[in-house]
Chains A and B, each alone.
Chain A
């Protein structure tokens, strides 16, 4: 097994864990964490792909992931601002259909 293949496996595992977290934990901050895990899985896949040729490294996936990291932090910050707003308005940290009855 090559090094990129190992990291693709890690990426798949991290992505799957993120999907499970998204489905199983209704608390919204946890959902944001799970989404970030999924994003990190995708980033790992792209960078492992950039290394498929051991002699040269493809800079395009690197640039895309760099952009992705900044977009991810922007989206996370925006999402957290919405969660805070929801909490101030309703005192809840999950969406209506997910709340325990």
Chain B
């Protein structure tokens, strides 16, 4: 019975995901596409949960649906012009070629996926126990955190580099021509309604607590720097939209420091392990957990601030109140 319910659920999930993806592409209005894409992201979070990937479910809900959605919608506010799907209908041949290309891509993808699934599973519990023993040596109980910050720490280190590059790249694109109006993201142009203050006052401490919890729990359960950073970034987006954070044309030394802190602390930890005669980022026995914790705290802040700055579209942010537009 339980299994049947699971299959029905998975089937409905599959149908919804595919139909939503099709509507995202086919919808005539850009706004509808963006909103449906956010819904698609939320359903992806459910799919991750179904696939026993709670880390990803948390990250997808906060980043994939939340931050990406906010970025898309704030872009939509500025770019309202959409091209109609077909000013003149495409030639039949062009249309057929596109469908053919898509079908080919999907077919190759499915074949590769089938090949991947038919790779032989490492035999029995022995391999699992071996892996668990390795994870235990890192001082964290959670396998995904162990992979991210120990076994494949290079990936995470370079990912911080990519995040920093994205911020710098976005800066370079935006700085070339600053927006005409001062504060285009603030939604309270006429001043706060009574609900806004109460809502922000209630949500802000809660979000900080949730982020702190996610960061701490990452050592032994679903959570960690990525999820915590994304949740903190959501707080930044909320405060930016309600005018509690104002954009700055330049980032102060402190914010620049936070931007590079994750990369710097991570690299420093790697150099320290090298100085003691180990491989890069091969933590010494017994010190692995404290080192991972310090790195994770730095990563959380260095993930949250770039995401907020990317949303804000400004070089820096400061606490303050947006002024009423004249």
Contacts and interface: CB of A to CB of B under 8 A. Distances in A.
B63 to A, nearest CB: 5
Interface core residue of A17, A45, A84, A91 (most chain B CB under 10 Å): A17
Nearest to B233: A73
B98 interface: yes
Interface core residue of A8, A37, A74 (most chain B CB under 10 Å): A74
A52 B117 contact: yes
A3 B109 contact: no
Contact of A63 (B25, B33, B121, B144): B144
Interface in A21-40: 21, 23-27, 29-30, 32-34, 36-37, 40
B79 A66 contact: no
B44 A59 contact: no
A30 B30 contact: yes
B118 to A, nearest CB: 9
A16 B51 CA distance: 21
Contacts of B56: 43, 47, 62, 65-66, 69
A29 B72 contact: yes
Contacts of B163: 70-71, 74
A21 B121 contact: no
Contact of A83 (B75, B226, B307): B75
Nearest to B85: A25
Contacts of B319: none
Interface stretch (B173-181, B199-207, B246-254, B271-279): B173-181
Contact of A49 (B50, B72, B116): B116
A29 B25 contact: no
A91 B78 CA distance: 11
Given A63-B147, A71-B159, A87-B78, A17 B51 contact: no
Interface core residue of A23, A62, A64, A89 (most chain B CB under 10 Å): A62
Contacts of A27: 30, 82-83
Given A11-B113, A20-B25, A29-B30, A100 B83 contact: yes
Interface residues of A, number: 78
B83 A49 contact: no
Interface string B43-80: 01001101111011001100110011001100110110
A62 B144 contact: yes
Contacts of A5: 114, 117
Interface in A43-65: 43-45, 47-53, 55-57, 59-60, 62-65
Interface string A1-24: 011111111111111111111011
B102 interface: yes
A12 to B, nearest CB: 4
Interface string B106-147: 110110111011010110010110010000000000011011
Contacts of B125: 55
Interface stretch (B148-156, B186-194, B280-288, B290-298): B148-156
Given A2-B117, A34-B25, A100-B87, 16 more contacts: A4-B117, A5-B117, A20-B25, A23-B102, A44-B44, A48-B113, A48-B117, A49-B116, A64-B152, A74-B162, A74-B306, A77-B71, A78-B170, A78-B173, A84-B75, A93-B82
Closest 8 CB pairs of A and B: A16-B106, A21-B25, A74-B166, A20-B102, A81-B170, A59-B143, A8-B113, A12-B110
Interface of B: 6, 10-11, 14, 17-18, 21-22, 24-25, 30, 33-34, 37, 40, 44, 47-48, 50-53, 55-56, 59-60, 63-64, 67-68, 71-72, 75-76, 78-79, 81-83, 85, 87-88, 90, 95, 98-99, 101-103, 105-107, 109-110, 112-114, 116-117, 119, 121-122, 125, 127-128, 131, 143-144, 146-148, 151-152, 155-156, 159, 162-163, 165-166, 169-170, 173-174, 176-177, 179, 226, 303, 306-307, 310-311, 313
